[in-house]
Structure 1
């Protein structure tokens, strides 16, 4: 019998997830819910979130809700004996993720988070090359992830801190931070960051984050910029190693707003200049298969009992811990600046 799925939040993301699960073929979407009642659903439409969580005919719940509902819905579904796939962010902070992990530990169900960028073909190839050791160890990484928003953004739940939990860092930056940890196989214990809102001026909703981070154990350093004042969408992940570099520019999406997904690879030479444009190999990924790969990975865990490798609760905890530290670092810098200004004023 097919795994019976209920989708909570049947907007854009819910429909993307539904289509990917249908392609996988091991699921049947039996019920959906959305605050804007869908009129085109080909299955039952539930009256509430709770109705799906407590539905005895549902084996698996897919959570595609505003951020503030992710944690309570995931915990409730796990306690109701459902497998859960949940979009990022898992919660507002690391402490809340630990609450989810406690519920997961008491359950025998599968929990997976939608860190979708791990499943992009360019990222997958980049990770394979790094893990092969052929290019030596990672020395440093640089990531930029930006988009343009307009006044309509201010009308959505993403501009409400009580519902979003933060701004561009929670919205997009979380993906780049997750990729840093995934590609480098490490976390970061030294952080210096600026979290600002100079343009949109929405209380508690940052429009830019600049951070420099280092892992003292591996020595890997990263430079990070997440922004909603890019004015044109941009994705760039650069990984520099002992014997070359791998640069992923663009991200293949249905909208096409991030351009082509192109992975550039080159090995250095022993004499400067270490590499030239002619040395580079470019791999272009024409089709976005990330949603389908992610659905397959999840259903392998649900139906075959294979372990979740990409999007575990532990990985979610690690990235939320990093986000906590970035926010805390900005608060600490702000207090230090205020104190320095106060001292100057007393002179």
Structure 2
């Protein structure tokens, strides 16, 4: 089926989603909504948010707006009988997600969230290996995710709590927390320190988060930062029988470096620090945007649940973020 699609928010992410939709050829964008834009963008009508939501011909809506609009637009689109794909964060709190889930259940439509990192080929390979049991249970995870921001950051909506909901944790760290959950399961203990020592805004510029699963003792740690002065992505997973380390992430600017996955089984002889048995894979293509859109539209066509990035995934994630922000002191 060739779905008719509306995109609300036609900035960087709206354009990326549009390109992916064109590439997979499972739908066509018939309208976009970008305030203060031209009446047509690339020959496509640019209409209001309300017109997109109530458009009789539109089957699915892609929400690519500033964070504070995500919850309201998602609920309104579901209530209007549209399938919805929404960028992260899904909302500001776990309680928000419960409201969204009520609208989702009443609508009978599909709802998927843009936790894009789950769809990178490297992460998909890690997930497959962990689920196979070949490397045993996950013992601990460590994630570092940082970037350098420009001097005009103060003027951006991301720097304002009422518009963004939070700082670097909501912007970037949310992806790493989502990967922790996706690759290893839930956590019930959350300890955190958040600070704004450099930018002195009402949102954090650094977040240090420790997660624990009481039943198994599994621990994960995250440092999410915008005062690192360079872009960095690093995910380390250590299991009973080996490790998986992902450094770098393919982006359009390649500012995070090459996406390189290193995997090794436990060594039985000393010295422990040897590299000859390590398998290193470099990923050169970013297929994640297409994979994501494929999953969304395939779920609609087959009328099957969203398996990757559903509202329950969103709820578990936002409950952790709730607990982090409950502990902030600045």
Please give the range of the TM-score, normalised by the shorter of the 2 chains. Answer: over 0.9
Separation of aligned partners in 1, 2:273 and 2:237 = 15
Unaligned runs of 5+ in 2: none
Aligned-pair distance for 1:41? 2.4
Aligned residue in 1 for 2:178: 178
> Pairwise mapping of residues 155-234 of structure 1 onto structure 2 (< 5 A)?
155-184=155-184, 186-203=185-202, 205-234=203-232
**Offset at residue 152 of structure 1 (A):** 1.6
1:29-178 matched pairs, under 5 angstroms:
29-38=29-38, 39-46=40-47, 48-178=48-178
State the secondary structure of the residue aligned to 1:301: helix
Q: Secondary structure at the match of 1:144?
A: strand
- Following TM superposition, by how much is the alpha carbon of 1:275 offset from its aligned partner in structure 2, in angstroms? 5.1
The answer to whether the Cα contact below 8 Å between 1:88 and 1:114 also exists between their aligned partners in 2 is: yes
After TM superposition, give the deviation of residue 270 of structure 1 in Å: 2.2
CA displacement at 1:233 relative to structure 2: 0.4
Aligned length: 329
User: Helix, strand or coil: the match of 1:106?
Assistant: helix
RMSD (Å) for aligned C-alpha atoms: 1.2
1:98–1:317 contact (8 Å) kept in structure 2: yes
Question: In the aligned structure 2, how far is the partner of 1:260 from the partner of 1:298?
Answer: 27
What is the distance in 2 between the residues matched to 1:155 and 1:55? 34
Distance 1:228 1:93, change over 3 A: same
Give secondary structure in 2 for the equivalent of 1:130: helix
Question: What TM-score do the two structures reach when normalised by structure 2?
Answer: 0.97
Q: Distance in 2 between matches of 1:212 and 1:272?
A: 31
- Unpaired stretches in structure 1, ≥5 consecutive residues: 335-347
Counterparts of 1:189 and 1:304, CA distance in 2: 34
> Aligned match of 1:322 in 320, 323, 330?
320
Superposed counterparts of 1:176-325, under 5 Å: 176-184=176-184, 186-203=185-202, 205-274=203-272, 276-325=274-323
Q: Secondary structure at the match of 2:294?
A: helix
1:92 & 1:180 partners in 2: Cα distance? 19
Q: Distance in 2 between matches of 1:194 and 1:281?
A: 35
Provide the C-alpha distance between the structure 2 equivalents of 1:190 and 1:307, rounded to a whole number of angstroms.
29
After superposition, give the CA deviation of every residue in 1:24-80 in whole Å (9 maximum; x if it has no partner).
Answer: 11101000011231453222111x211100111111100000000000000000000
Q: Deviations over 1:171-193 (max 9, x none)?
A: 00000000000110x22222221
Residues 97-147 of structure 1: CA deviation (Å, up to 9, x unaligned): 110001001011110000000000111111111111111111000000000
Aligned-partner Cα distance in 2 for 1:165–1:191: 19
Moved over 4 A (4+): none
Task: Give secondary structure in 2 for the equivalent of 1:292.
Answer: helix
- 1:190-234 CA-partner distances (Å, limit 9, x unpaired): 22211000001112x100001222111232101110001111100
Q: Return the index of the structure with the highest Cα Rg.
A: 1
Q: Is the 8 A contact 1:266 1:275 kept in 2?
A: no
CA contact (8 A) 1:268 1:275 kept: no
Distance in 1, Cα, partners of 2:302 & 2:191: 43
Once the two structures are overlaid, the 10-residue window that deviates more, 27-36 or 273-282, is: 273-282
- Measure the CA separation in 1 of the matches of 2:316 and 2:42: 37
Q: Distance in 1 between matches of 2:37 and 2:25?
A: 26
Could you tell me how far apart the structure 2 residues matched to 1:278 and 1:270 are?
13
CA–CA separation in structure 2 for the residues paired with 1:42 and 1:18: 13
Report the CA distance between 1:301 and its aligned residue.
Answer: 1.0
